[in-house]
Amino acid sequence: MNLKELNSKSAEEILDWSSKEYSGRIALASSFGLEDMVLIDIISKLPQPISIFTLDTGRLHEETYTLIDRVRSRYKLEIVTYFPDSSSVEKLLREKGFLSFRESLENRKECCRIRKVDPLNRALKELSAWVTGLRKDQNVTRNDIQAVEEDKDHPPLVKINPLKDWASGDIEKYILKNNVPTNPLHKQNYPSIGCAPCTRSVEPGEDPRSGRWWWENPEHKECGLHQK
């Protein structure tokens, strides 16, 4: 099967192909949002395993930590956790305080780099491919993603996006049908959940990503894990 053919395949087919193509060298990077919970449920049913890792920034919601333990208990899957470098975090807080990320785009990207991007780079070192929950309709920065694509930020890695064509309604239907556990914050109007200081609930009719870094323009709303 060539890469163009994969664009028309289901998420289950894409993940099954990927688990075999990159056997032992592929992992899901999970923040335990709705998309990631769908992927975890699908992965748990694959004949060949895909590893799962998460980035603990040190500023996650308590509800997120509770969900991680629920995932461990229900699916019997190991969740490998990566933390930011403690000396880098200490230096940032000493020099700029606890909320520097709200002062400028540069400061926010610095915080994301220390807490997310650098730990991600460590996690990806042993991999050939990684799975994400990216969808085209999530943001203007994501409207051209492919099922399988070169990760230009982490060459020669490949990025797998099984849910690229799913709408939010598709996610909700899968979760209900398969009784997938989710973060309770979603029912409090948090469609996208990241670090607690950088995430807020959204009003009806607002873009789902508007609750992330709400003080920034839409075209800037990436933490650096998925650059253009």
For the chain, what are the domain ranges? 3-86+125-216
User: What mean pLDDT comes out for the span 216-224?
Assistant: 61
* Separation CA 32–CA 195 (nearest Å): 12
Token couple for 139: 């943001």
Is residue 198 among the annotated active site residues?
no
Q: Tell me: pLDDT of 87 over 50.
A: yes
Confidence of residue 163 (pLDDT cuts 50, 70, 90): very high
pLDDT cut 70: percent of the chain above it: 93
β-pair partners for 117 = none
Q: Tell me: pLDDT of 21 over 70.
A: yes
Architecture of domain 3-86+125-216: 3-Layer(aba) Sandwich (3.40)
For residue 148, CA distances in Å to 25, 57, 117, 164 come to: 15, 27, 21, 10
pLDDT per residue over 177-193, tens digit each? Answer: 999 999 999 999 998 89
Task: Report pLDDT for 221.
Answer: 52
